[in-house]
Amino acid sequence: MPIIPGKKCPRCRTSHYSPLPEQPWFLRLPGAAHLVCTDCGQDFYFFGGISVLHERRANERIQPPHTLLVRFGDGEQKFAQIQDITTAGIGFTYTLDKQKFLCDRLTIDLFNCKQGAFLKDLPVRIVSSEVSVQNVAGQPTTMMRNGARFIDLNRTQKKLLAHFIPASDPKKQT
């Protein structure tokens, strides 16, 4: 749980935020606030001179193998590497320099390149974004990490996703 001094986003460390209407009981204390970063969309708590990241994910995260990819984008296909996945959401990273999108709702496809399995047209809503610069092949590269929540999945999609995730978990494969 990232904690940082000052009233700023624990994820992207900017001071651009707005208040959230959801107020837990402990935020009734003077000087306490539930805020959302206007840059990356992450929500956090501020009290006692520190900012604390609010983790919304309730399910166990699975770190899949590098052969599990996300495909998104209309027209031009864009691919991202999955960092973690649950039946409720997904975290993925891609090169920002080459692949940009601005919408917060989109559909994604999941591909397991090793097994040849895939799930298509899963609707998601982007709930967090983090930009970083990483050294890739000796060159500084701007990377985007998005956290997304699966939304409006039908019963079949939920069932397939529930089977797809454990089948992609390297810890459960022998």
User: Both 29 and 82 in a single domain?
Assistant: no
User: Both 107 and 166 in a single domain?
Assistant: yes
* Number of domains within the chain: 2
User: Both 73 and 158 in a single domain?
Assistant: yes
137 assigned to some structural domain:
yes
58 assigned to some structural domain:
no
CA 70, CA 81: separation in Å to the nearest integer? 6
User: Both 75 and 155 in a single domain?
Assistant: yes
At 82-122, the pLDDT tens digits run 988 888 899 898 887 555 555 678 899 998 888 888 899 99
Q: Any idea what DSSP says for residue 173?
A: -
Distances 132 to 80, 91, 93, 103, 140 between C-alpha atoms, Å: 15, 15, 10, 19, 10
State the residue range of the domain holding 27. 3-53
Nearest to 69 by CA among 136, 163, 164, 133: 164
User: Both 8 and 83 in a single domain?
Assistant: no
User: Both 36 and 100 in a single domain?
Assistant: no
DSSP 63-93: ---TTEEEEE-SSS-EEEEEEEE-SSEEEEE
At 43-85, the pLDDT tens digits run 888 888 898 887 665 556 666 767 788 988 766 778 888 988 8
